Amino acid sequence: MKALDTNILIRFLVGDDKKQVQTVYKKFKNSEERKETLFIPTLVVLETIWVLEVVYKVERKEIVNSIGDLMLMPILEFEKQTTIRNFINTAQDSTYDLSDILIAQSAKESGCDVVLTFDKKASQFELFERLKT
């Protein structure tokens, strides 16, 4: 199995480089024809969120919907599928930072009760606990 880097997902989602977009589409089509699965690490999802928010100024709802759409593609296999699904469900009804939600859901799935943080806003989310100085 082969894994995808963030820039592959960004090209696919944003379509900002025609040559690279065509290459990604061709790879996805070939993978589909060969019934080959492409792996997406959780860190790639986190970085994709950051790039879409910061670099491309994509709206939160569109980011969450795009990740949900990617999960529906049979050729893509996400690391920690349950974490990503929980992230999507939580993000739809929350105003917390998307990256914080993904971190919290990943920690929860790994058996953690909470994520310790200094972040005041994140600490208001039930899966975070603020360390006071």
Q: Tell me the domain boundaries of the chain.
A: 2-79, 96-133
In this prediction, residue 114 has a pLDDT band, given cuts at 50, 70 and 90, of very high
Whether the CB-CB separation of 85 and 71 falls below 8 Å is answered with yes
Taking the complete model, does pTM exceed 0.85, yes or no?
yes
- Closest to 114 in 3D by CA, of 131, 98, 97: 131
7 pLDDT exceeds 90?
Answer: yes
Over range 82-104, report the average pLDDT.
Answer: 95
Burial class (CB in 10 A: 0-12, 13-18, 19+), 58: middle
